[in-house]
Amino acid sequence: MTGPKTIETHIVPRISAAAEAAGRPAPRIGVALPVAVTDDATAARKQAAQEFQMYGFLPNYRRMLDIEGAQGPEDVAVIGTETEVESQIRAIAAAGTTDFIAALFPTDGDPDASMTRTRALLKSLVGKV
């Protein structure tokens, strides 16, 4: 539950250094974040704030959010149009993420439509990011 800044400047360097010190190969870096493709990012962020609020209170998650400079999970959730979500996922990959796990959540007035849009985009990115 963190963003590209923390992945690149905190998580990847620490895990990579520990692996190197132990004589291990470069580790895979898995990141799981809420994802929603929507035309109303403001409403989706409000929804993410409610649905994922518990992460803002769990000590290790809170620490990562603080390093990122995020108020809560809604600030690191991957939300926006198809183009915006793809850009955010690419930034997460560029920060050193090797495995991205999308926690889809429905938005907009039509939950089925938002989930369909999100799944379609994610499927289109498999193997390309």
How many whole angstroms separate alpha carbon 5 and alpha carbon 16?
A: 16
Amino acid letter, residue 111: P
Per-residue model confidence as pLDDT tens digits over 38-60:
999 999 999 999 999 999 999 99
Q: What is the largest CA-CA distance in the chain?
A: 52
Residue 63 pLDDT more than 90? Answer: yes
Give pairs for 58-65: CB < 8 Å, separation 24+.
61/1, 64/1, 64/2, 64/6, 64/10, 64/11, 65/1, 65/2
4-125 to CATH, choices 3.90.1150.10, 1.10.3720.10, 3.20.20.30, 3.40.50.170? 3.20.20.30
Q: What is the pLDDT of residue 15?
A: 96
Q: Are 7 and 97 in contact (CB under 8 A)?
A: yes
CA 5 to chain CA centroid, Å, is 12
Q: What is the pLDDT of residue 110?
A: 80
% of the chain at pLDDT higher than 90: 90
- Which tokens hold the place of 91? 């930034």
User: Which pTM does this prediction carry?
Assistant: 0.93
Q: What is the pLDDT of residue 80?
A: 96
| Range list of β-strands (E), the chain | 30-37, 78-80, 99-104
